[in-house]
Amino acid sequence: MLTRLRSFMPVLWVLAAIVVLMFPDMLLAQDATAEGEKPQQNLVMFMIKSAGIVFGPLLLIISIILVALIVLLAMDLRGASAIPPGFVDEFTDTVNKRKFKEAFELAKNDTSFLARVLTAGMSRLQYGVEDARDAARNMIESIRSDKEQKNNYTAVIGTLGPMLGLVGTVYGMILAFMELSNGGTPNPSKLADGISHALVVTLLGIALSVPAIFFNAFFKNRITRITMDTEHIADDLLTQMYHNSKKPGAPGGVPIPGAGPANSAPSMPPVRPG
């Protein structure tokens, strides 16, 4: 029991820190009351209140979408996930042993970036290494397009954040000027509500766009680097497989166009993806 409590201590400390940061007025209420002063309002709660029931939830939803996109792209664009070192070693060893059908099944059953490119290339290898390279490049461009489309949403959020902030600014200023237009002495509380709404929504919009712009550039560079690495490695492996299939005495391989009966090795039927 004591061990379990110790394991939860870091979590409890984090929760306590969050409570202190978000609700310090609860801790200072007794002192303020004793001194006869009004308790100081918490900045976070003031910003949440000033954001309003329209812009607050809207910016919150967009923030959740941004976090989900960042996590998804970070998982997909890991180097070890796109080009697994273990898969490269096992595939190379299988090709060197001239077990081409097993190599095809190995790539087909793997879901990594490199494996999908190799599967597309090997399906055209019986027609020549150039056809295999073209098929591999087409698959690379297809996967790259899919990743870039997801990354483009971070750029949209980076542009949308300041625009929403600007709309909130205009709306808050309209509220403030409506109070001033009533004539007489304006209500300081209502005037402050309109101005604070304008400033808070502007701040939240800019704060939303900064990480979105940063991660958009970060993932764009990551996509380019992984695409280039995958293309080079796939080209080397397909070339190695093609030349190994031409060696005499291969127990099975990919048919080589233009190879005569005198210098061609026995080969299995063309391997096609299922």
Rounded mean pLDDT for each run of 10 residues along the chain, 274 residues in total: 43 45 45 50 73 84 92 87 87 85 87 88 84 89 90 92 86 80 73 80 89 93 91 88 71 40 39 42
The answer to whether residue 120 is domain-embedded is: yes
The Cα–Cα gap between 67 and 46 comes to: 24
Q: Are 161 and 147 in contact (CB under 8 A)?
A: no
The answer to whether residue 194 is domain-embedded is: no
The answer to whether residue 16 is domain-embedded is: no
Q: With helix as H, strand as E and coil as C, how does the chain read?
A: CHHHHHHCHHHHHHHHHHHHHHCHHHHHHHHHHHHCCCCCCCHHHHHHHHHHHHHHHHHHHHHHHHHHHHHHHHHHCCHHHHCCHHHHHHHHHHHHCCCHHHHHHHHHCCCCHHHHHHHHHHCCHHHCHHHHHHHHHHHHHHHHHHHHHHHHHHHHHHHHHHHHHHHHHHHHHHHHHHHHCCCCCCCHHHHHHHHHHHHHHHHHHHHHHHHHHHHHHHHHHHHHHHHHHHHHHHHHHHHHHHHHHHCCCCCCCCCCCCCCCCCCCCCCCCCCCC
The answer to whether residue 129 is domain-embedded is: yes
Parent domain of 91: 54-161+211-246
Amino acid, single-letter form, for residue 113? F
Burial class (CB in 10 A: 0-12, 13-18, 19+), 131: middle
pLDDT of 38 reads 55
pLDDT of 45 reads 77
Q: Please state, in angstroms and as integers, the Cα–Cα distance from residue 38 to each residue in 44, 72, 147, 189, following that order.
A: 18, 46, 53, 16
Q: Are 134 and 163 in contact (CB under 8 A)?
A: no
155 contacts: CB under 8 Å, gap ≥ 6? 212, 213, 216
The answer to whether residue 151 is domain-embedded is: yes
Q: How many residues does the chain have?
A: 274
The answer to whether residue 122 is domain-embedded is: yes
pLDDT of 99 reads 85
pLDDT of 270 reads 47
The answer to whether residue 70 is domain-embedded is: yes
The answer to whether residue 186 is domain-embedded is: no
Total domains, the chain: 1
